[in-house]
Amino acid sequence: MASTMKKTPTFLPLSLLLLLPLLASCVEKQVYIVYFGEHSGEKTLDEIEQTHQSYLFSVKETEEEARSSLLYSYKNSINGFAAVLTADEASKLSELEEVVSVFRSEPSKYSLQTTRSWEFVGLDEGERWDHMKRDDLLLKARYGKQVIVGLLDNGVWPESRSFRDEGMGHIPKSWKGICQSGDSFNSSNCNRKLIGARYYLKGYEQYYGPLNTSLDYRSPRDKDGHGTHTSSTVGGRRVHNASALGGFARGTASGGAPLVHLAIYKVCWAIPGQGKEEGNTCFAEDMLAAIDDAIGDGVHVLSISIGTYEPTFYTDDGISIGALHAIKKNIVVACSAGNSGPTPSTLSNPAPWIITVGASSVDRAFVASLLLGNGMKIEGQTVTPYKLEEKMYPLVYAAQVVGPNVPKNDTAGQCLPGSLSPEKAKGKIVMCLRGNGTRVGKGEEVRRAGGVGFILGNSPANGAELTADAHVLPATAVASDNAIKILKYINSTKKPMAYISPARTVLDRKPAPFMASFTSQGPNTITPDILKPDITGPGLNILAAWSGASSPTKLADDKRVVEYNILSGTSMSCPHVGAAAALLKAIHPTWTSAAIRSALITSAGLNNNLGKPITDASGHPATPFQYGSGHLRPSKAADPGLVYDASYSEYLLFLCYHGVTKFDPSFKCPKSPPTPNNLNYPSLAISKLNGTVTVKRTVTNVGGGGKSVYFSSVKPPMGFSVKVSPPILFFHHVGQKKSFTITVKAETEAETTIGKDEYAFGWLTWSDGVHIVRSPMAVSLA
């Protein structure tokens, strides 16, 4: 029974009220990562953990509280720990001299960046073994045999035919990893293809509470599809007659390096209260633990299709920290550039020790035309298997058929959940615009309201790029210009009508590749004098293996199950580069990770299949801030001629310049570290040039001939002069190094040709008549 007794009101002084939020923030506990850089001296794993706990003892009131607060103690290569701390405790630890950085774990900081593709980049698996040329890259690399690729993602579906291990050969002796058991997963799910699997969720559960096992498996098993897709893109076996739902993209599915061994590190998880189609979350402390284990397990390549929502400084970024420790062990690390395009300055993973990968198209389309009542035919794309009866249907714009309580604003035409009126939409084809909400969710809303089909219209930001989805009803997606034409038609007649044709797979489309509008773009906001992204690879409408516990749309009401699915994102392009790096590792096992990155960058292609420069989907010229050095060409990368090598200590000098002086206790920063544009990188960026700048580069001869002469040629950025000295390099043997300088000068007319904060782009190329070693340049004025 509720009490009727009156209480005397309590009043607090205003000064105390103002302090309450501050006091609350001091006592509120969150996960922080305390990072010390490299391990110093030889310590056992137990001694390392005891050392980490001693730091917690110093700020906690009891030993029991200190022990219970520790989530991870990073011990293999990374020196640090993740623990539950108050802001005050974290601040005290950050003041210690030996601490490199302390940063708070943020739940929304990281997310996943969601066969034909391999033929398109020149790794055609279609020919028979005995008909292949002996110098074919796959044969040279023995299909990636004995190379181990680790993937940080959201797990794997081990039963997929892409992960069969027949003919795989023995597991490399260097492998030290495990096959971790858990929900619906045990050691029998690993084999000679999937040689290891682990999962990490201490950070996730600290924030969200215990995992809801109806949302995800508490194990390395994939309930989403993304991790299965990326891992099969890297190293899936050849699977004949594979296709997406409805038979689209039918052919032989294969990873880029079909005989590599795969190690799965599940670090991304379903978000409670949110549909899987809206993405996952990945916590920095979980990823650091996974990378630390991967280094200890003995992987050779790491493929990480995860990015931040906004650029993050190197020592506050779990992926960046982990990747540099991996580089010290000569592990190649490839990461997604992100899916925040076409806005400039949005890219993730800008560290120079990471291969940062943008996304572009392949030469395949899934054409589903739209016929309007006025006779106009408009091309669209989809991979929905559903077909309309061949007749004309009433056509409406979503804003015309919304429910009575839906505001008539900009979102009314976007088919958001619950927005459409079944009375108005039933039996009609509904035109929905992109914007808020997911693409597949819009189709689900049309189906809920009784629509017979739907048209997904691009916004101007998406332009002409068409992402093919397996919608839950007949559908097609159209370019923004065509969306405007459809809307004009709808408004021009009292009874607009339309029909959506069944989709078909079309190969050899031109032009291809073009840049995906979603791919995050430069310039690099963390270090503008490092050009990022590095390269682009196939990332639009890519077919690969899928989880048997997820539908092709990931929608909760979609009960369809598929073996293979089509997905888009820099998540898809990253494993293409990861696979190419694995092949190069197999051919050149002694090369450094920097040499492999250089080979990929300097051999990339700049032209599409019409022989013209790469554009975006609308035909506008693309720049190195979208594609880096160009489109991935693995076969060229196997024999690059020259490489721009860089050592771990050069990356430490790079960090010294940025004020990070304690990363490695054995390394002492000089008083005047070199500027970032003097890092021996295979591209060149000079931001805010005032007058003249001279930088140095060193190349190593890796060409097969030994003796060679390389001539330089320059296409200078507009408004600048570029001088290379010496302009000719003479090499006498393989492994010989030669240095040169690049002097960039702003011409008097530069201010009239490019605006403030705008960049001009150019190219530096070395060639001996056989090899073409090309580097992009980006320059802006002060």
Distance CA(502)–CA(75), nearest Å, equals 56
Same domain assignment for residues 719 and 596: no
Residue 3 has pLDDT above 50, yes or no: no
Q: Residue 131: which pLDDT band, with cuts at 50, 70 and 90?
A: very low
pLDDT at 1: 39
- Looking at the structure, tell me whether residues 345 and 378 fall in a common domain: no
pLDDT in tens, 136-169: 888 888 888 999 999 999 999 999 999 999 989 8
Q: Helix, strand, or coil here: 80?
A: strand
CB 263, CB 297: distance < 8 Å: yes
3-state SS assignment for residue 522: coil
| Listed residue (525, 555, 104, 550) closest to 340, CA to CA | 525
3-state secondary structure of 172: coil
Asked if residue 374 and residue 357 are part of one domain, the reply reads no
Mean pLDDT of 67-74: 94
Catalytic annotation, pick one of 39, 52, 226, 771: 226
Q: How many angstroms separate the CA atoms of 164 and 181, rounded?
A: 19
| Rounded-to-integer distance, Cα 455 and Cα 478, Å | 7
User: Cα(116)–Cα(124) distance, rounded to whole angstroms?
Assistant: 9
Give residue 676's pLDDT: 97
Q: Which residue has the higher pLDDT, 775 or 704?
A: 775
Taking residues 210-233, report their average pLDDT.
Answer: 96
Q: What torsion do the CA atoms of 576, 579, 581, 586 make, to the nearest 10 degrees?
A: -160
Does a structural domain hold residue 391? yes
∠ Cα 260 266 272 (to 5°): 150
pLDDT value, residue 782: 84
Is 402 in the same domain as 358? no
Of 254, 480, 571, 683, which residue is the catalytic one? 571
Among the candidates 470, 504, 538, a domain finishes at 504
CA–CA dist 335, 581 (Å, integer):
12
CATH number of residue 774's parent domain: 2.60.40.2310
708 is catalytic: no
Q: Do 275 and 379 have their domain in common? A: no
| Average pLDDT for 174-197 | 97
Q: Which of 710, 740, 714, 715 is nearest to 725 (CA)?
A: 740
Reported as a single tens digit per residue, the pLDDT across 643-675 is: 999 999 999 999 999 999 989 888 999 999 999
pLDDT at 26 over 60: no
In this prediction, what percent of the chain has a pLDDT beyond 70?
93
Whether residues 304 and 393 fall in one domain: no
Residue 74 lies in a domain: yes
Whole-number pLDDT of residue 121: 66
Residue 654 maps to a domain: no
Confidence at 123, pLDDT banded by 50, 70, 90: low
Choice between 704 and 205, residue whose per-residue pLDDT is larger: 205
pLDDT computed for residue 12 by the predictor: 37
Whether residue 675 lies inside any domain: the answer is no
Average pLDDT over residues 99-128: 69
Q: Look at residue 130 and tell me if it is in a domain.
A: no
Is the pLDDT reported for residue 4 higher than 80?
A: no
Which of 616, 583, 586 is closest to 600 using CA atoms? 583
Are 192 and 278 members of one domain?
Answer: yes
> 454 lies in a domain?
yes
Phi, psi of 503 (to 5 degrees): -80, 155
In Å, how far are 7, 23, 27, 589 from 17, measured between CA atoms? 21, 10, 16, 64
Assess whether 329 and 438 both reside in one domain: no
Q: How would DSSP label each residue in 683-725?
A: SEEEEEE-SEEEEEEEEEE--TTS-EEEEEEEEPPTTEEEEEE
Residue 622 has pLDDT above 90, yes or no: yes
Encode pLDDT of 237-273 as tens digits.
989 888 777 777 787 888 999 999 999 999 999 999 9
What are the Cα distances from residue 429, in Å, to 371, 396, 451? 12, 6, 6
What gap in Å lies between CA 601 and CA 585, rounded to an integer? 15
Q: How far is CA 660 from the centre of its chain?
A: 26
161-182 mean pLDDT = 95
In the set 52, 69, 101, 153, the catalytic residue is 153
Q: Give CA separation, 649 vs 403, 642, 664, in Å.
A: 63, 21, 9
Does the structure show a pLDDT above 80 at 10? no
In the structure, what pLDDT confidence band is assigned to residue 117 with cuts at 50, 70 and 90? Answer: low
Question: Closest Cα partner for 397 from 428, 431, 435, 372?
Answer: 431
Do 456 and 478 form a contact (C-beta atoms < 8 A)?
Answer: yes
Average per-residue pLDDT for the chain? 90
Helix (H) or strand (E) holding 356: strand 355-360
Segment among 64-73, 368-377, 741-750 with least mean pLDDT: 741-750
In a domain, 43, yes or no: yes
pLDDT tens per residue across span 410-465: 788 999 999 999 999 999 999 999 988 899 999 999 999 999 999 999 988 888 88
Report d(CA 339, CA 354) in Å as an integer: 17
Q: What is the CATH number of the domain that holds 414?
A: 3.50.30.30
* Banded model confidence at residue 754, pLDDT cuts 50, 70, 90: confident
Residues 206 and 264 in one domain: yes
Instruction: Determine, yes or no, domain membership for 336.
Output: yes
pLDDT of amino acid 129: 27
Note the pTM of the prediction, 2 decimals: 0.89
Angstrom distance (rounded) from CA 224 to CA 383: 19
CA distance 331 to 333: 6
Q: Is the pLDDT of residue 122 over 90?
A: no
pLDDT at 2 exceeding the cut of 70: no
C-alpha–C-alpha distance, residues 225 and 153, integer Å: 10
Structure tokens at 36: 């010390």
- Contact between 232 and 576 (Cβ < 8 Å): no
Residue 242 belongs to domain with CATH number = 3.40.50.200
Domain boundary among 504, 537, 571: 504
Asked if pLDDT for residue 128 goes beyond 70, the answer is no
Give the number of domains in the chain.
4
Mean local confidence (pLDDT), 268-297? 94
721 is catalytic: no
Per-residue pLDDT, averaged over 694-710, amounts to 92
We report the CATH number of the domain holding residue 41 as 3.30.70.80
Q: Known catalytic residue: 571?
A: yes
Sheet holding 268-270, edge to edge: 268-270, 280-282, 110-112, 306-308
Residue ending a domain, among 504, 525, 545, is 504
The radius of gyration computed from the CA coordinates of the chain, to the nearest angstrom, equals 27
Tell me, yes or no, whether 49 and 79 share the same domain. yes
Share of the chain above pLDDT 90, in %: 75
Angle at 343 between CA 465 and CA 758, to 5 degrees: 120
Residue 7 pLDDT more than 90?
Answer: no
The answer to whether residues 579 and 727 belong to one domain is: no
Task: For residue range 545-560, list pLDDT tens digits in order.
Answer: 999 999 888 888 888 8
Q: Taking Cα atoms as reference points, which of 326, 330, 347 lies closest to residue 338?
A: 347
Same domain for 627 and 715, yes or no, is no
Q: Which helix (H) or strand (E) holds 365?
A: strand 364-367
- Local confidence band at 27 (pLDDT 50, 70, 90 cut-offs): low
DSSP-assigned states of every residue in 589-611: TT--HHHHHHHHHHT-B-B-TTS
Q: Which domain holds residue 712?
A: 680-781
**Token pair belonging to 3:** 């009490």
Report the alpha-carbon distance of residue 716 to residue 722 in Å, rounded.
6
